[in-house]
Structure 1
Amino acid sequence: MSKFNAEWLVVVGLLLYFYLVAEPSKPFVRPFRLSDPSIQFPFATHERVTDNQLYVISCILPSLAITAWCTALLKRKKLTKFQFQQLVNTSLQNLWLSISITGVITDVLKAWIARHRPDFLERCGPIVGTPIDKLVGIEVCSAPLGQIYLVDGMKSTPSGHSSIAFAGLFYFSLWIYSRIGHLSIGYQLSSCLPSLLATYIALSRTQDYRHHYSDIIIGSAMGIAIATITFFRKEKDKTELPL
């Protein structure tokens, strides 16, 4: 089995673990106080960036854009067919390694840290008579939104939207810069656009009261770090697209 195929198997394995094991895993249950102001925010029924939108923007769109870019190089005879296959395979493989590794690490940390989300009390729906200033457990929760939302309310740190957004979009920024970094400053700055989009996605999680600011800082840093490592681990081809 070739090295390329073996690494794609790693990606598939990580994605399966992410969706089948890490995502539905139950977090450690920490006590809380009803008087804690950091968990008293309202539950937003409409998110600015949903999970599905996150995956499309951060995973699918960069994959399509990279493939289209390389196809343009091939059609303009700037790449041989072999070089095209190598560049597309390496670029997409590293992109999806960044995304899958980030997703798994994020969910493992969410379950271990088990921090309550800013909107946790609304997810909990504490029963009448629950002490306000004493530590209590989830046995006082009526879970008006359902058990799924209650459990998810204990997975605040780190922010998954932030980590995955930067894992995909910061990687894409690095990839764009590696292709056009020799051009004018205007073109170089354009490589920052995907990262700006990732920043918006991360900040939107505080507006939706899904995460604390520290959650998005940790998640963003994770995504940036993993994207950087996966991008530079075997970035050998510096093919540039003439404009």
Structure 2
Amino acid sequence: MTFINPSSIAKYIPSKQFQEYVPDWIVGGLLLAFFFLVAEHALPFQRQFSLDDLTISHPFAVHERVTGIQCILLASLIPFFTIIIVMLVRYRNGAFTSQYQALHYLQVSILGLLISLSLNGVITDILKVWIARPRPDFLERCGPKPGTPMHTLVDISVCTGPLGESVLIDGLRSTPSGHSSISFSGLLYLTLWLLGQFKLLQPRSSSRYIYNYLVVFSPLLLATYVALSRTQDYRHHFADIILGSFLGITFAWWSYHHYFNTLVSEDSDKPISDEGSTESLLPR
């Protein structure tokens, strides 16, 4: 029998263990709403540029290797479903004292993922509109008017926007790379979570098989591919993906360690609030 069922959830939600996380769920939901409804549509600062700047003269790629929607789905759904599957397997193998403990560990794990992704998304978009660096393909998005001077600084008013106004405006959102930050904030969180759940970094870890580490670190390879694909599509400069990756790594690391014990701890698979006690997880 699985621990994810209406009866178990109905008994767990009123418990003190769940209620203490409600404020974090609210914050995560608000951040996610702000990201999709406000930050993603904010207008960037109209930074000046030069028509003879070769760094923004690359062609516009009509078909991206990883689209924005695909990036968000990869960074969120892969960790989400992996966490659920691992928790179900561990529950069936007797890793938890009760179904309520399993539910508690699951909700804390998903909450950490939500905070990592939503906080990273908001901060990344805020930096994008403040920095407003032109993308490598900006001049093709711009389509400057005939007669625009070459050897001087101009602004977006000289652009005809042949690909559309939204594509033109998005051309000033290069730094940092959102694909890089989002992919690392979700997929690195998954790697850290797997390391903690299987206790692979403990000094006395019983697992010495290299394939365990290859599987656990494989999400980072996917995140790296997503980040580098942005330079292949000429959507970002290398500095953009470095900064974006740093942001994603930072938020994933902080979010994971905010909710779970350190990876070298004997209790690395437990939420910090649950350290030392399992009986208290049972609802009264």
TM over 0.5, shorter chain: yes
Secondary structure, in 3 states, of the residue corresponding to 1:157? coil
Q: What are the residue-to-residue correspondences of 1:5-154 with 2, within 5 Å?
A: 5-79=22-96, 80-154=98-172
TM-score, normalised relative to structure 2: 0.82
User: Could you list the per-position Cα deviations for residues 190-214 of structure 1 after superposition, in whole angstroms to 9, with x for gaps in the alignment?
Assistant: 2110011100000000000000000
CA distance in 1, matches of 2:215, 2:255: 22
Q: Which residue of 2 aligns with 1:206?
A: 231
Aligned mates of 1:185, 1:127 — CA distance in 2: 62
| CA-to-aligned-CA distance 1:76-98 (integer Å, 9 cap, x gap) | 22212122111111111011100
TM-score after normalising by structure 1: 0.96
Q: What per-residue deviation string (whole Å, max 9, x for no partner) do you get for residues 164-197 of structure 1?
A: 0000001111111112203115112321100111
Question: Alignment partner of 2:167: what SS?
Answer: helix
Deviations 1:40-65 (A, max 9, x none): 00000000001111111110111011
Paired letter, 1:167: S
Q: Distance in 1 between matches of 2:121 and 2:45?
A: 19
2:259 counterpart of 1:229: no
**Which stretches in structure 2 are left out of the alignment for 5+ residues?**
1-17, 262-266, 271-284
Query: Percent same amino acid at aligned positions?
Result: 45
Structure-2 separation of matches of 1:45 and 1:234: 41
Shift of 1:121: 0.3
> Following the alignment from structure 1 to structure 2, what is the Cα–Cα distance between the partners of residues 218 and 64?
28
Query: What's the counterpart of residue 184 of structure 1?
Result: 208
Give the superposed CA RMSD: 1.3
Letter of the 2:268 counterpart: K
> Mean Cα displacement is larger for which, 36-45 or 183-192?
183-192
Paired AA for residue 238 in structure 1: S
Alignment deviations for residues 16-47 of structure 1 (CA, whole Å, 9 cap, x no partner): 10011101000000111000000000000000
Q: Which runs of 5+ in 1 are unaligned?
A: none
Indicate the SS of the match to 2:41.
coil
Q: What secondary structure sits across from 2:253 in the alignment?
A: helix
Amino acid at match of 2:70: Q
1:160 is aligned to: 178
